[in-house]
Amino acid sequence: MGVIERKNAMTAEKPVVEKPVERSAYPFPRAVWDQPPAPRHVGLALGGGAARGLAHIGVLEVLEEAEIPIHRIAGCSAGSVVGALFAAGISAKQMHELALDLRWNTLSTLSLLPRRLSLNVSLKGFPLGLLDLDKLITWLEGLLTDTPEFADLRLPFAAIATDIVTSELVIMNDGAVGPAVRASCSVPGVFTPYRRGERLLVDGGVVANLPVQVVRQMGAEYVIAVNVLPLPGEHRKEPENIVDLTLTSLYALIRANQGYGERAECMIAPDIAHFSLIDLSAAEGLIAAGRAAAEAQLPTIQHDLGLQTHQAEHA
């Protein structure tokens, strides 16, 4: 009898415990709006690409002319230069004029090499980059006389850099603008890193060349991303020297490891693969390519933001 009782106890059904239903089990149904609400904050994500970053100016010209509202900007490398100027209230037309006279000797100087180059010389004596980019800070400060600090800018702006020691993404949006942009532009091997506090910073493109996610975290619901890295299959210009070769190699690694960044509501990719990464004298062609790419996407942006109806009502 005792054996039977033990058997029955072992085979008895266990009480069923109901688990709470997760909200994700009942997804929100697909909604169809008559007039969908427009995003409250539009963000710009401006990617890195060395001299090809001048194409950003052409994109901004089109957005300005079409009165597309911009509320947040995140920029990486060359995108941080253009983004900082735009956030300070410098128009795309003004940037266009500045770009025509821009040369590398305005922004950089050669790093000091050991007096005697020999295989017997310790490599510890070599600089951390071929060029020093501190003149970029001076150039920017001359333009941002009224807005030298992030807090002074007319639009929220963040410059993206990489901590070369920890590999962390460093998002700079406090303090002086010039040094932050300089750090964001410090392409490893080409430009010397920039020390900001305890961190040794290099180009943000090492970990996030197209900062879509950053501008989202800044509060943008609709992101316009400008990618100035050539798309796969496009005809590319061969490197011309060691600087061009280093830049080309870095961006090849970026494409292989990062793809083309987080998905944005609108992606603008100028046709600039045939332009050199180091030719600042090609400003007109690069800006024109930026304009063409932005004009092609403009109807989509206006539709998404509900601006076509609004403009038609006030025409």
Residues with catalytic function: 77, 203
State the SS3 of the chain: CHHHHHHHHHHCCCCCCCCCCCHHHCCCCCCCCCCCCCCCCEEEEECCCHHHHHHHHHHHHHHHHCCCCCCEEEEECHHHHHHHHHHCCCCHHHHHHHHHCCCHHHHCEECCCCCCCCCCCCHHHCCCEEEECHHHHHHHHHHCCCCCEHHHCCCCEEEEEEECCCCCEEEECCCEHHHHHHHHCCCCEEECCEEECCEEEEECHHHHCCCHHHHHHCCCCEEEEECCCCCCCCCCCCCCCHHHHHHHHHHHHHHHHHCCCCCCCEEECCCCCCCCCCCHHHHHHHHHHHHHHHHHHHHHHHHHCCHHHHHHHCC
